[in-house]
Structure formats: C-alpha cells, structure tokens
Amino acid sequence: MIKIENLYVEINSNTVLEDISLEIKKGEIVAIVGPNGGGKTTLIKVILGFIKPSKGVVLIEGKTPQEYVKSGKIGYLPQRSNYDRDFPVSAFDVVMFGLVNSKLSRKEKEKKVLEYLRYVGMEEFKDHPFGKLSGGQQQRVMIARAVICEPELLILDEPATGVDVVAQESFYEFIKKLNKEKGITVIMVTHDIGAVGSFTTKVVGLNRKLHYLGEYVNFLSKESLEKLYGSEVKLLIHSPECFTCQYFNIEVKH
C-alpha cells in the first residue's frame, strides 16, 4: 500500500530524515517508535502530503501523498492537544466535522454520526460538551471523527498520550477492532511500544535514519534498543501478565 524509497527530508537545512526505505502492506498495524526529535511526526507528515521530501519516492497505492489525500481515504488523528474545556461543541458536532466534505444529506450524515458514536461506545455522550469529556472519551470521539469518512489508512500520532492505563487498553482494543472489522491499515506513532507491540505487524525504529524495521519481538533485543535510543536504555517491565514477559519468559519479582 505504501512504498517509501530513499527518502530524505530537510528542514531549515537540517537533515531530519535520511535515506529511509520501507514498505507497508494493506491491513498492517505499524508502530513508529524512537527518541524525541527522531523524525516520527515528520515521517507521517510526509505520508500525509504535508511535507515534501527533498529526495526520494513516496507512493500510496501508486499515487503521490498529495493525490492520495485528495481521494479522502486517509483518516488522521494528530497529537493530542489540551482542548478548551469550555469550547461549546458537543461530541456529536465533533464527529460531524469528519463529514465536512461528504455529499450525504443532512439526515444521512446525522444517522452516520450516531452509528460511529455507537461504534466507539460514546453514543450516550452524544450531547455532552466535548471539552468536559475525559481524555480517553475525547480520544474515542476523535477516532470516530477520523474514521467516519471510511478511510483505507488511519494515521495516529501518539494517540494514547494523557489517557490512563485502563482507558489506554480499551482504546488499543478498539484500534485492533477497527483494523480487523473494517480492514483499515493503521500507522501509529507511539512511545509506549510495550502496550502496542503485541498487535503490531511491524515496528519502524526511527532516529533520523531507519534503525529498525521488523517484528516487535526482535525489536526488543538489547542491540536494537541501544542502536535506536543509545546505550543507557533500560527495559521497564509492567507486569507478569504482559506480553513481553510471557514471550521472553521473564520472571517478575516484587
């Protein structure tokens, strides 16, 4: 679905991405990880057609990102901001914004908004002021807005920032469900590789260059982590039940 070849991006004469080549197939869930300033957001902005590469090729379904974006097949959830708690829009209105370019009638749009609010488990909050919802609830509403136009590709930039651990878990479950039921390809920038690793098909480790491309289980080796984050990296294990512990047969002592 996405083909990136020898991509270079320069911003203010600084090379932010250097010689990146990778492919993403339809139906994958891809995690982009790496240290702060490593170029993760820049890479997704290139895929979204917001930033033009200085060199290299980026094709989505054989089209340039700019052409592909015009087809309306990308849903995008930018990095979470602190929404104004008094901003007078309801959860319903926020999801409706996702249909701004749709040719459906008003009635059809309303029906679809309710359907998507139900899908993300937020129908009962439809008339709630968006700013007064919790962080996890706001993210669900924002996801409904990003997917209501039925995209083929969903791009999420640190979607679980500021969302508590329990809400994060159900949020990631929802992403998996979207991928499975609607066949949406998902690209996600994240700092919490431990939480998403078990269901990603591919990990992209970025620190200006492509330091890692492959499966999550191999990513967790000391070498690949040090290569990406430097020699001081420490692996923090969350609980004995976590996927990482089970996979590597790590015993957790309290």
Ligand X SMILES: Nc1ncnc2c1ncn2[C@@H]1O[C@H](COP(=O)(O)OP(=O)(O)OP(=O)(O)O)[C@@H](O)[C@H]1O
Residues forming the site for ligand X (CB under 6 A): 11-12, 16, 34, 36-42
Decide: 127 and 90 in contact? Cβ < 8 Å: yes
**Within 131-241, where are the H helices?**
135-147, 165-182, 193-196, 216-219, 222-229
CB of 173 to ligand X, least distance (A): 24
Tokens of 97: 């914004």
CB of 90 to ligand X, least distance (A): 30
Q: For residue 210, what are the β-bridge partners? A: 206
Sign of the C-alpha dihedral, residues 177, 180, 182, 188?
positive
Rounded to 10 degrees, the C-alpha dihedral 82/85/91/93 comes to -100
Backbone dihedral region of 85: left (phi > 0), alpha (psi from -120 to 50 degrees) or beta? alpha
Residue 152 CA: distances (Å) to CA of 143, 184, 195, 234: 14, 5, 24, 36
CB of 169 to ligand X, least distance (A): 22
In this complex, which beta carbon is closest to ligand X, that of residue 34 or of residue 75?
34
CB of 206 to ligand X, least distance (A): 7
In this complex, which beta carbon is closest to ligand X, that of residue 48 or of residue 94?
48
In this complex, which beta carbon is closest to ligand X, that of residue 229 or of residue 243?
229
In this complex, which beta carbon is closest to ligand X, that of residue 161 or of residue 198?
161
Residue 108 CA: distances (Å) to CA of 41, 102, 103, 160: 35, 10, 10, 31
| Number of residues assigned to the chain | 254
CB of 12 to ligand X, least distance (A): 5
In this complex, which beta carbon is closest to ligand X, that of residue 148 or of residue 187?
187
In this complex, which beta carbon is closest to ligand X, that of residue 77 or of residue 133?
77
Decide: 30 and 188 in contact? Cβ < 8 Å: yes
In this complex, which beta carbon is closest to ligand X, that of residue 40 or of residue 202?
40
Residue 5 CA: distances (Å) to CA of 53, 62, 227: 11, 13, 22
CB of 207 to ligand X, least distance (A): 8
CB of 244 to ligand X, least distance (A): 21
Strands 14-24 and 2-11: antiparallel
